[in-house]
Chains A and B, each alone.
Chain A
Amino acid sequence: MASINVKSVFKHFGNLDVIKDLSFNIQNKEIVCLLGPSGCGKTTLLKIVARLIAPSSGTVSIAGTFGIVFQEPRLLDWLTVEKNLEIPYLVCGKKVNGERIKRMLKIVKLNEFKKFYPLALSIGMQQRVALARALLFDPDILLLDEPFRGLDVKIRESLEDDILLLSQSGRKSVLFVTHSIEEAIRVADKVVVVSRRPMKVLNTIQMPLGTKPRNAYSTKFLPFGKQIYDCFYQTY
Chain B
Amino acid sequence: MYNTKIHSIVIRFFFFLFFCLIWQGVAYYLSAVPGPFEIFVDIIFLLRHDIIFNILISIWRVFVALVISLAFGLFLGLLSAQVPLLGLFLSTIFTPIIEALPPLAWTIICIFILGIGETSVLFIVCVILIQFFIVSTIEGLKNIDKNLVEMAQSFPLGQWLTLDKINFATRVNILRYVESGMIIPYILIATRLAYGVAWKVIVVAEMFGASEGVGYLLNQAYSTLSIKRLISLSTLVVLLFILGDCVVLKNINKRFKKWRV
List residues of chain A with CB under 8 Å of any chain B CB: 47, 50-52, 62, 65-68, 70, 72, 74, 76-79, 87-88, 90-93, 117-120, 137, 139
A67 neighbours in B (Cβ, 8 Å): 154, 158
Q: How many A-B residue pairs have CB under 8 A?
A: 73
B161: interface (CB < 8 Å): yes
A87 neighbours in B (Cβ, 8 Å): 152, 155, 177-178
Report Cα–Cα, A91/B149, bound state, in Å: 11
By the criterion CB–CB under 8 Å, are B161 and A91 in contact?
A: no
List residues of chain B with CB under 8 Å of any chain A CB: 147-148, 150-159, 161, 169-170, 173-174, 176-178, 181, 184, 256, 258-261
A62 neighbours in B (Cβ, 8 Å): 161
| CB nearest to A70 among chain B residues | B151
| Given A50-B157, A66-B158, A90-B173, also A72-B259 (CB < 8 A) | no
Across the interface, B170 reaches (CB within 8 A) one of A52, A77, A92, A117, namely A92
| Centre residue among B147, B151, B177 by max chain A CB count within 10 A | B151
By the criterion CB–CB under 8 Å, are A52 and B150 in contact?
A: yes
Name B's interface SS: helix
Report Cα–Cα, A67/B158, bound state, in Å: 6
By the criterion CB–CB under 8 Å, are B147 and A137 in contact?
A: no
Q: Tell me the smallest distance from the CB of A94 to a CB of chain B, in Å.
A: 9
Report Cα–Cα, A70/B148, bound state, in Å: 10
Report Cα–Cα, A51/B159, bound state, in Å: 12
By the criterion CB–CB under 8 Å, are B155 and A91 in contact?
A: yes
Report Cα–Cα, A137/B259, bound state, in Å: 27
By the criterion CB–CB under 8 Å, are B256 and A92 in contact?
A: no
By the criterion CB–CB under 8 Å, are B154 and A137 in contact?
A: no
